[in-house]
Homo-oligomer: A and B are copies of this chain.
Amino acid sequence: MIKVGIVGGTGYTGVELLRLLSRHPDVELRAVTSRKEAGMKVAEMFPSLRGRVDIAFSTPEDAKLTECDVVFFATPHGVAMAQARELLEAGVKVIDLAADFRLKDPAEFAKWYAMEHSCTDLLAEAVYGLPEVNRAAIQSARLIGMAGCYPTSVQLGLLPLLENGKKLIETTGLIADCKSGVSGAGRKAEVGTLFAESADNFKAYGVKGHRHSPEIMQGLSEIHGAPVQLTFVPHLTPMIRGIHSTIYARLTEEGKNTDIQKLFEERFANEVFVDVMPAGSCPETRSVRGSNTARIAVHRPGNGDLLVILVVEDNLVKGASGQSVQVMNLMFGLNEQHGLDVVPLLP
C-alpha cells in the first residue's frame, strides 16, 4: 500500500483527491492537512465522504508527512515550493497540483504568480505532469508539477498536430477559446463566483493575459520543438464542472492533405484516458463528468483551411486531481487506471 498525504484538503482539488483515493485499491490515506480545520473530521466538512474517509484534518506538524510515500499539494500557489525540499530529502515523492513547478523559467513564474521562486534547482528537476506527453519522465520522477486544467485540454487537442516538429498547422496565430465551469475558480469565498453572480450568466475573463497562457505556450513549444504562438481566451460558464476548449488552427498544405481524423485516432489509440470521437461529433462536458477521460473531436468546416478541435474534460479530474492520481500510478509502477475507473455521471 502506498502511504499518501495530502496538504490542503479543504479545496475542490483536495476533496476530489479524497473521492478518488478513498476507493484506490493500493492507497492508504495517512494524513490530510489543514491548519485552519485541524481536528475536524474530513467527513464533517464533506458529508459525501461519510463512511469513506474516517480521518480528521491535521496540522502540518502532526501530519508526519515525511513518513508518507507520496504527498499531494492541493494548495494555493507558493505552498509546495516551500515544503517540497524537506519531503524529497526524506525520500517522499511530491506531486504539486498548483503552479509552483509548471513554468520552467523562474522569471516567467515570478511575472505571472507575483512571487519569487524559492527553489529553482527543484524547478529544473521537476517533471511536467501530463502523461500523454511525457509518460516516461513521469515514471522516473520524484517531483511533479501537474499540468493546469486549461493547459491539459489545449495541449491534448493540439498534440497530434504539433509533436516532433510536424508541419500540419501554422504555429502562430493559434486560438484557444476555452469555457470552464465555476469550480475552476476554487473553493474560496469570493463575490464573483457566488451563485447569484455566476448563474444564468456568461462572460470572458483574463483576456489581457492569463497564467495558463505561458504554460500552454511552453508546453506546445516543447511538444513541437520550436516556438508556438497561441491566443488564449478563457470564459466562465454556469456549470459546476467541465472545460470545453474550442481550438482554431490553420492547416498548412501538408495538413490539408492529411487525414486528421485518422491522425488523432492513431495518436491516442493506446491512451486510455483520451477518447477520439467519431468524425462529426460534438463532445459534451457532461459525457466526462466525474471521470478522468478527455474526449476530442476534430472538424474542418466547409473543408476549408481552418481546423476546429473540440476538447472536453472534467476540470477537477483530468484537469487536476484525477490526472494527479494517474501520475501517481505511473510513479509507483501501477496500472495507470487504478482508482480511476469511474463511469461519467450522466445526466
Contact = CB atoms under 8 A, between A and B. Distances in A.
Nearest to A50: B275
A22 B304 CA distance: 41
Nearest to A198: B195
B240 A202 contact: no
Contact of A345 (B19, B197, B246, B248): B19
Across the A-B interface, the 4 shortest Cβ-Cβ residue pairs: A48-B344, A48-B346, A182-B195, A183-B196
A248 B230 CA distance: 12
A209 B302 contact: yes
A265 to B, nearest CB: 13
B201 A231 contact: no
A290 B344 CA distance: 10
Counted per complex, copies of this chain come to 4
A310 interface: yes
Interface string A238-281: 11111010101010000000000000000000000001010011
Contacts of A244: 202-204, 235
Interface in A33-49: 46-49
A202 B179 contact: yes
A163 B202 CA distance: 28
Given A23-B343, A185-B196, 16 more contacts: A19-B344, A48-B286, A48-B288, A48-B343, A173-B306, A182-B196, A199-B238, A199-B240, A200-B240, A202-B285, A207-B308, A208-B301, A231-B304, A233-B246, A240-B347, A241-B347
9 contacts: A19-B346, A48-B289, A185-B196, A187-B196, A195-B195, A195-B238, A197-B347, A199-B200, A231-B304
Place the interface of chain A in its size category: 35 or more
Contacts of A233: 246, 301, 308
A204 B246 contact: yes
B208 A286 contact: no
A200 B180 CA distance: 11
